[in-house]
Amino acid sequence: MSGAAALLDQLPPWVLVVGKGGVGKTTCAAALAVASADRDTSTLVLSTDPARALSDALGAPLGPDPLPIDGSAHLSAFQLDAPVERDRFLERSRDVLVTIVDRGTYLARSDVAALVDGALPGVDETMALFRLTELATDDRWQRVIIDTAPTGHTLRLLDLPRSFTLLLSLLDAMQDKHRFMVRTLMHRYRTDDADAFLASMRARVASLTELLGDRARCAAVLVTRDEPVVLAESVRYARALAERGIAVGAVIVNASADEHRSSDSSSELRSVASGAAWRTAKRGAVTLGLDGAREWGARLADEPRGRDVASASRASAREASPREPGAARARGIARLSPLSALTIVGGKGGVGKTTVACALALTAAQPGSDSRVLLVSTDPAPSLADALALPIGDDEVEVAGVPGLFARQADAGAAFARLRAGYAERIDALFDALSAHAIDASADRRIVRDLFALAPPGIDELHALAAIADAVGKQRFARVIVDPAPTGHLLRLLEMPAIALDWTHQLMRLVLRYRELGALGDAGADLLALAKRIRAVSALLSDPARTSLIVVALDEPLVHRETRRLTDAVGVLGVEIRAVIWNRIAAGESPPRIPLPATATAAQLVAFETEPSPRGISAIRRWAESWCVA
């Protein structure tokens, strides 16, 4: 049995379409949604990915609220818009949040308002959580299909119910201080709007948590590709979903090279994903719009559980051999030498950012050079280790066989947790000093200690980038090459310094208030250090003499549009675009070109298609040597 309609028969009403960037999640979500609506099922499809590709896939403009899609009588769609959701949330809840924080701290009400406002900009995952909690109790649609962001940020979204519960506990502690004072003075307490708000938010988060963990109501469709690096991340993703209690209802191997064989090329992926295996054959670029979604859905075919061809394992053992571009064409990678002190490799998920970043790092670390080069990933779901076929963790390690090249997969969450723990220790020391002066501030201790729960999501990645900027500033490395998260979250990271700096200032104001009760001690040291590092990051990113962006793209309609959005946005942010690299171009084909911001002087290069994709130091080096000028 084949086709998207057949797959829908195996899935519950809520479907999370998940996977590594670039595997075809958005196309899959659009195809499933159109197939569902074509069966006269009221269907809602939405995207939580800030890259905003769902509108392109459906061939229809989308807004922040569900809109009917022309050409499909039972289909509605919308694109989650974090700023719009944030404004709506504050319009409904800002006053009550300010009241709660005002009751629980020594801040002036104006400072409280600034703290609340500063905690919420750019929080894509939090706003997605709030919207999903609303949809969990909305019965207008018989089926809901969610096109998600790439791996790391979707896992963060799925973790938010737990972390948001901690935030609600912090707010409840603030409100409890008010309850205690009222009971002390009035000998009774009546619940008010603040109590109702906290109870409502807890109920909504609990409802969403219950839905996500209910196999009869919700399951994930894990989309992958028959490539070693992609499969490795997909295995980790399937395990992470299982740890969070979310069922994998199906695995789709997209764009399989051979439609007559099983495309489930990893027995390990099959063992960790309980859902049925499906595949689509590789047939050129996907057509956009409803007809394109229907055509993609018609190509979807299921696979018997007994067929298991471990083609990826064999493919990874073969060497990638780039197609010869022709001796007359100039060697393209030489156009990028020397790289900027900080080079960020950006683009849509799945375009080959990580492999390009590896190629640039291997080229920059020339034999006999005394210059040290650092290759680092800030993506919450890093793939450097998979691409280089080497064990790489959160520490800087010298790449075996490449003297002077160091690599690191930065664990931003762990680094920020260490910062948070140091802050908590200093706050404890401050309140221990207050207790020595017979001041009872036990409620305040918990409140101030846990205020990092109000940190804007994404600040952990900025904190990791700050450490990288520090390495550039202190010239520990001559060149630093960063492999970040895909487009939407890269843009958020580039916008984050101003947001994070404002937040640290607001938090510092609160901590300084307690100096009036005793000694400040070292409680503000971590915040001052963080603010200093954020300013250094901001200065580095806006300096074209030290920082540049290399954009990686594919000659595919969805990628073209997202690449244009990326180049336009970074042009506004003032980040220098050094080059656009068109990846996976077949020999003999003319690569496309895209208009760049007027200030950009970027080269446009071609990186040729290989089969299989280059993996390992030798294969990536040979592939990089074949690049040429577009």
The set of catalytic residues is 49
Closest CA to 374 of 347, 339, 398: 398
Query: What letter represents residue 627's amino acid?
Result: W
Residue 399 to residue 193: CA distance in whole angstroms = 58
Query: What letter represents residue 266's amino acid?
Result: S
Give the Å distances, CA to CA, from 556 to 56, 560, 563. Answer: 12, 6, 10
Residue 442 to residue 440: CA distance in whole angstroms = 6
Residue 457 to residue 163: CA distance in whole angstroms = 11
Following DSSP, what letter does each residue of 286-327 receive, concatenated?
PPPHHHHHHHHHHH-EE--TT----HHHHHHHSPP-PPP--T
Q: Is 71 helix (H, G, I), strand (E, B) or coil?
A: coil
Residue 406 to residue 376: CA distance in whole angstroms = 8
Residue 582 to residue 608: CA distance in whole angstroms = 8
For residue 331, the 8-state DSSP code is: B
82 touches 51 (CB < 8 A): no
Q: Which two tokens stand for residue 152?
A: 């790391």
Residue 417 to residue 312: CA distance in whole angstroms = 36
Residue 128 to residue 434: CA distance in whole angstroms = 40
Count of other CB atoms within 10 angstroms of residue 180 = 12
Q: Is 68 helix (H, G, I), strand (E, B) or coil?
A: strand
Residue 385 to residue 161: CA distance in whole angstroms = 30
Q: Is 432 helix (H, G, I), strand (E, B) or coil?
A: helix
Query: What letter represents residue 558's amino acid?
Result: L
Q: Which two tokens stand for residue 327?
A: 């001796």
Q: Give Cβ neighbours of residue 566 (< 8 Å, ≥ 6 apart).
A: 346, 347, 348, 487, 490, 491, 551
Give the Å distances, CA to CA, from 452 to 266, 382, 449, 455. Answer: 41, 25, 8, 5
529 touches 508 (CB < 8 A): no
Q: Give Cβ neighbours of residue 454 (< 8 Å, ≥ 6 apart).
A: 115, 119, 167, 170, 503, 507
Residue 564 to residue 595: CA distance in whole angstroms = 8
Count of other CB atoms within 10 angstroms of residue 345 = 29
Count of other CB atoms within 10 angstroms of residue 137 = 11
Q: Is 46 helix (H, G, I), strand (E, B) or coil?
A: strand
Closest CA to 514 of 629, 437, 412: 437
Closest CA to 362 of 629, 625, 554, 609: 625
- Classify strands 67-68 and 75-79 as parallel, antiparallel or unpaired: antiparallel
Closest CA to 152 of 381, 418, 405, 373: 381
Closest CA to 617 of 400, 408, 409: 400
Q: Which two tokens stand for residue 415?
A: 């680094």
